[in-house]
């Protein structure tokens, strides 16, 4: 069995009996409160197989005496209560008024740690995560807030596009292939992602934007293949809109010319 060195539960949630205006369970002392939380600028957190990821959690805190800072921050899978994101116990608070500050906690994810976070399959942790925090005011007030924000941690995707042949006569048929794969956090490799709908897009030479031509479903190994009739030169690419657990991905366009 793997060690649970990165395991986390919902920070004493069973003992929390009060409810804030946002619906999160909380307890504490005094009037210090979290009034807003933004994770990663409002975007998803995308995790691959090698690169260490850092991302901010910006927490707006209010108290009549002013804000001292963050005492604790944790974030983990909303359904499974495991985590592999760590906080370095430091935060930077920017004063907005006499009573309100925005405090930033920076989280770190190293893919090499992920497999130890879950005893079964760490890939299950992709999806919706929540944030818990303890905040402190200058007068000693503190507040422990459970589930102050939700966001998504997703497995990184890869997508390729290949056209053959790359130069044909007008109205000829060409084959556009590709492969959709996604990060596996267990073995730190990319594997084909079967059964996913991927859009084939075309941009005519000289045009500014791509348009969708058709949608193709990946096979059992994540491969894509379709035939199209060429009427003009331009670039072809595959586009994957993503899922709850996997990031969207746009392949690099492959250019086709006419004879």
CATH (domain of 252): 2.60.40.730
Burial class (CB in 10 A: 0-12, 13-18, 19+), 80: middle
Report whether 225 contacts 202 (CB < 8 A): no
Residues 226 and 106 in one domain: no
What range defines the domain where residue 170 resides? 157-258
Has residue 148 been placed in a domain? yes
Domain boundary among 136, 155, 174: 155
Residues 147 and 181 in one domain: no
Has residue 2 been placed in a domain? no
Domain boundary among 133, 155, 177: 155
Contacts of range 86-89, beta carbons closer than 8 Å, 24 or more positions apart = 86/6
Residues 220 and 127 in one domain: no
Residues 86 and 107 in one domain: yes
Residues 88 and 26 in one domain: yes
The tally of domains found in the chain comes to: 2
Burial class (CB in 10 A: 0-12, 13-18, 19+), 19: exposed
Instruction: Supply the CATH number for residue 105's domain.
Output: 2.70.50
CB atoms inside a 10 Å sphere around CB 94: 12
Residues 36 and 136 in one domain: yes
pTM of the model: 0.87
Has residue 8 been placed in a domain? no
pLDDT per residue of the chain (259 residues) written in tens, 0 to 9: 333 334 333 333 322 222 233 335 568 999 999 999 999 999 999 999 999 999 999 999 999 999 999 999 999 999 999 999 999 998 999 999 999 999 999 999 999 999 987 777 999 999 999 999 999 999 999 999 999 999 999 999 999 999 988 889 999 999 999 999 999 999 999 999 999 999 999 999 999 999 999 999 999 999 999 999 999 999 999 999 999 999 999 999 999 999 8
Report whether 36 contacts 148 (CB < 8 A): no
Question: Tokens 């000829």 appear where?
Answer: 172
Residues 88 and 182 in one domain: no
Has residue 3 been placed in a domain? no
Amino acid 119: pLDDT = 78
Has residue 179 been placed in a domain? yes
Residues 141 and 35 in one domain: yes
Residue 216: phi and psi, rounded to 5, are -125, 145
CB atoms inside a 10 Å sphere around CB 214: 12
Residues 104 and 36 in one domain: yes
CA distance 237 to 160: 8
For 54-68, b where at least 16 C-beta lie within 10 A, e where not — what string?
ebebbbbbbbeebbb
Amino acid 26: pLDDT = 67
Residues 174 and 147 in one domain: no
Residues 25 and 151 in one domain: yes
Report whether 96 contacts 102 (CB < 8 A): yes
Residues 135 and 164 in one domain: no
């Amino acid at each position: 069995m793997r060690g649970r060195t990165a395991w986390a539960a919902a920070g004493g949630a069973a003992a929390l009996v009060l409810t804030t205006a946002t619906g999160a369970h909380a307890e504490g002392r005094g009037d210090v409160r979290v009034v807003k939380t933004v994770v990663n600028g409002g975007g998803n957190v995308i995790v691959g197989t090698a690169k260490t990821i850092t991302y901010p959690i910006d927490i707006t805190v209010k108290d009549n005496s002013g804000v001292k800072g963050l005492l604790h921050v944790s974030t983990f899978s909303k359904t499974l209560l495991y985590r592999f994101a760590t906080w370095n116990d430091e935060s930077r608070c920017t004063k907005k008024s006499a009573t309100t500050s925005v405090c930033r906690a920076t989280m770190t994810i190293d893919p090499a740690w992920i497999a130890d976070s879950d005893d079964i399959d760490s890939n299950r942790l992709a999806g919706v995560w929540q944030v818990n925090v303890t905040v402190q005011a200058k007068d000693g007030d503190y507040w422990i807030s459970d589930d102050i924000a939700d966001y998504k941690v997703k497995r990184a995707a890869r997508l390729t596009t290949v056209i053959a042949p790359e130069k044909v006569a007008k109205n000829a048929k060409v084959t556009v292939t590709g492969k959709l794969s996604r990060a596996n956090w267990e073995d730190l490799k990319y594997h084909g992602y079967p059964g996913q709908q991927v859009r084939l897009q075309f941009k005519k030479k000289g045009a500014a934007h791509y348009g969708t031509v058709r949608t193709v479903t990946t096979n059992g190994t994540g491969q894509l293949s379709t035939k199209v009739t060429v009427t003009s030169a331009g670039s072809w690419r595959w586009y994957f809109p993503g899922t709850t657990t996997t990031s969207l991905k746009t392949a690099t366009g492959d250019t086709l010319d006419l004879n």
